[in-house]
Amino acid sequence: MDHPSGARAVARCIELGRAPYSEMEGGLFRPYLGPSYRAACERLAQWMSDAGMTTRMDAAGNLIGRYEGLAPDAPVVLLGSHIDSVRDGGFFDGMLGVVLGIETVAHFARSGKRFPFALEVVGFGDEEGSRFPSGMLTSHAVAGVLETPDPAMRDWAETATLASALEGFGLDVGRMHTASRKGDPIVAYVEAHIEQGPALEAEGRALGVVSAIAAQHRYRVTLRGMAGHAGTVAMKLRRDALAGAAEIILAAERVGRAGTDGLVATVGSLDVMPGAANVVPGDVVFTIDVRAGTNATRDRAAREILDMARDVAARRGLEMDVALQQDLDATPCDPVLTDLMEQAVRDVTHAPAPVLVSGAGHDAMIMAHLAPVSMLFIRCAGGISHNPAESVTDADTDAALRAMITFIGLFERHFG
Could you tell me which residues are annotated as the binding site for Zn(2+)?
Answer: 82, 93, 128, 193, 386
Q: Which amino acid, 325?
A: Q
Question: Quick one: 283 exposed, middle or buried, by C-beta within 10 A (0-12, 13-18, 19+)?
Answer: buried
| Measured CA distances, 28 to 18, 19, 36, 195, 392 (Å) | 6, 8, 10, 19, 16
Q: Which residues are annotated as a binding site?
A: 82, 93, 128, 193, 218, 278, 291, 386
Q: What is the dihedral of CA 48, 54, 59, 61, to 10 degrees?
A: 10
Q: Which residues are annotated as a binding site for allantoate?
A: 218, 278, 291
229 CB-near residues (< 8 Å, 6+ apart): 278, 279, 280
